[in-house]
Chain A
Amino acid sequence: MLKFIKNYLWPVFLVLFIIGSGFFIYGVYYSFQIVSGDVTEELSENEVADENSDEDPGEVSTEDEIDADPGDENGAETPAEEPAKAAPGLNFISLGDSLARGTGDDKGLGFSGRTVEILQVSSEEEINYRNFAVDGFQSLQLLEFFENPDFLKEIGKADGIFISIGGNDLRTIQNLASQEQESAYNSLKKMYLETLEETFLLLRAENPDALVIFLGLYNLDYSEVNQDETEFLLRWNAATNQWISLEKNAVFVPTYDLFQFQLENFLSFDGLHPNDKGYQAIAERIFEVLPSFE
């Protein structure tokens, strides 16, 4: 007789219901916690791995992570801490986009870090290196950095400043129809140069003597296919070169020729950024160009 349903199944269902309700209350409570952003306890089962455990104990020493106030735009609640006093020795910083960041570099150094590495070998002094670059940055965003007083202090301490910027700016006109491209390019370049000029003014106001190393753009496709794009790139590089070279204590380091026949070897598998070899090549070229440091 199927009355056993009533005698056995129903109580089982009732128990399931009670268990389910327990899960349910937990789940709903939790969801509300999460959605309202009340992060009261560490809920993840994983321990947060040590920040430095993956770094290579290389010859470059990066300063320890400091909980500095990230910026005034978001009204962050963590109080700002003073950046540590400038360590003795030389101070190099890297600014700009993903190339300055070192994206695609297994060691994470990028051209700036590797240049410092090379310098360190022949220098008796300790070289301190900090990287403030951000993937995807454009010239305007770099300029915005200079509004941050904490950041300006870092600028003030620097002896050498690596900058890579502009590639992301130029890419914005890539997808335009060819008729529009010329006028778009012109206004873009104008804005870019004006932004750079303003950036430099702020930079020099803070630090008149630091050496500025500015990186040129390389092409992603040297074949004959995209001649228009290549032309814009070359004109861009030329304009930047001209302008940087007129500044004091600043040098434009081209990469266009460096990558021309070496694209396969120097490019990382994402087809955009350099790989270790590529960054190393850039670093060695920069090293050739640098003056000696006291």
Chain B
Amino acid sequence: MNDQKINECKNQESETLEIKDRGNKDPVLELKNVKKTIRKKDIIKGIDLSVYEGEVFGFLGPNGAGKTTTLRMIVGLIRMTEGEITIGGYSVKKDFVKAMENVGCIIENPEMYDYLSGWENLKVLASMETGITKERIKDMVSLVGLEKRIDDKVYTYSLGMKQRLGIAQALMKRPKLLILDEPTNGLDPAGISEFRRLIRSLAEKENLGVLVSSHILAEMEMMTDRVAIIRQGSIVKVISVDEIIKEKGITYRLQSPEKAKILIEQEFHGEVQIKNNMELVAFVNEEDVPTINQRLFSEGIALYYVSKNQKSLEDLFLQLTAGDEIV
């Protein structure tokens, strides 16, 4: 994607994005000192993590760092050697059933029963729990846009459709937590951005906590609120995406950078560094960019372009994981 498009997307999203005040809410997912040892080798070395309602939390790391293992431990596919995982207050170890009632997940590839139709798959899975009505399933089907193909056998689905079915399956039970392991694997860019939109709106509207692991840094940046970077079984940094941007800043190419600097610093409380007589770097929130632009325009400052210093997350990532295999 080129810079302009990024801008446009960002502007769109900023309009709908509201920063939630988390306050003192309990996390919907909590990992405390979670460890996993296989054959005397510590592959997960004590992870602490919290995900709150309404936030999209990203999980980044190189190959073999332990992303998938951690996610699988959360949903009970792998048993943890030590530590505690609570979902909605319930311990996964001791209260598996109650804990899992609040979780929907897609782990790696969204495999379904090929010989059944999409609808049948959903019904079969729904029948394993209580409280999922036919209407609810229908709603989910329309949410993911599979109405036309829902009665076809799953072996006829494309990867994108299976992905969507996987989401429907995960959301049927109105979970508080959604776990996604590499969900955009194999999707085309249109599919990826659609997916991103869906996840963000779910987090918004249904107040869902989402834990996503991915290796597409650009997507993560746009989709998530916070990010944890994991390396060789430990978390090396947890950082909010806003902070990342703030760290590297937004570049403005315009006339009268000094004038702009004063305006931005005064009205938007962000630091401004002047790079040269045409460019400055402003350390402000993404959401403020449209407003800043309007102000500059109304002050008669001609604007050439605005761009986010794109490589921010990638820089951070590479810096922290130097020497490891890249995802």
Contacts and interface: CB of A to CB of B under 8 A. Distances in A.
The answer to whether A and B touch in the complex, with CB atoms under 8 Å apart, is yes
A246 interface: no
B123 interface: yes
B169 interface: no
Q: How large is the interface on A (under 10, 10 to 19, 20 to 34, 35 or more residues)?
A: under 10
Interface in A1-19: 1-3
Nearest to B119: A1
Contacts of A3: 120, 123
Interface in B130-162: 151
B117 interface: yes
Contacts, number: 8
Contacts of A2: 116, 120
Interface in B183-211: none
A191 to B, nearest CB: 79
Interface in B82-134: 116-117, 119-120, 123
Contacts of A1: 117, 119-120, 151
Nearest to B115: A2
Contacts of B151: 1
A2 B116 CA distance: 9
Contacts of B119: 1
Main secondary structure of the interface of A (DSSP, over half): loop
A144 to B, nearest CB: 74
A220 to B, nearest CB: 72
A218 to B, nearest CB: 78
Contacts of B123: 3
Nearest to B127: A6
A2 B113 CA distance: 14
Contacts of B120: 1-3
A8 to B, nearest CB: 15
A2 B151 CA distance: 11
B152 to A, nearest CB: 12
A1 B120 CA distance: 8
Contacts of B117: 1
A1 B150 CA distance: 12
A85 B168 CA distance: 97
A7 to B, nearest CB: 11
A3 B116 CA distance: 9
Interface string A222-241: 00000000000000000000
A3 B123 CA distance: 9
B76 to A, nearest CB: 26
A1 to B, nearest CB: 7
Nearest to A2: B120
A216 to B, nearest CB: 83
Contacts of B116: 2
Interface in B27-45: none
Nearest to B116: A2
A266 to B, nearest CB: 77
A3 B120 CA distance: 7
B133 to A, nearest CB: 16
B106 to A, nearest CB: 24
A85 to B, nearest CB: 84
Nearest to A5: B120
A1 B117 CA distance: 9
A2 to B, nearest CB: 7
A3 to B, nearest CB: 6
A101 B324 CA distance: 101
A116 to B, nearest CB: 83
A2 B120 CA distance: 8
A287 B123 CA distance: 96
B150 to A, nearest CB: 11
A21 B117 CA distance: 34
B28 to A, nearest CB: 34
Nearest to B117: A1
Interface string A77-103: 000000000000000000000000000
8 contacts: A1-B117, A1-B119, A1-B120, A1-B151, A2-B116, A2-B120, A3-B120, A3-B123
Given A1-B119, A2-B120, A3-B120, 5 more contacts: A1-B117, A1-B120, A1-B151, A2-B116, A3-B123
Closest 4 CB pairs of A and B: A3-B120, A3-B123, A1-B120, A2-B120
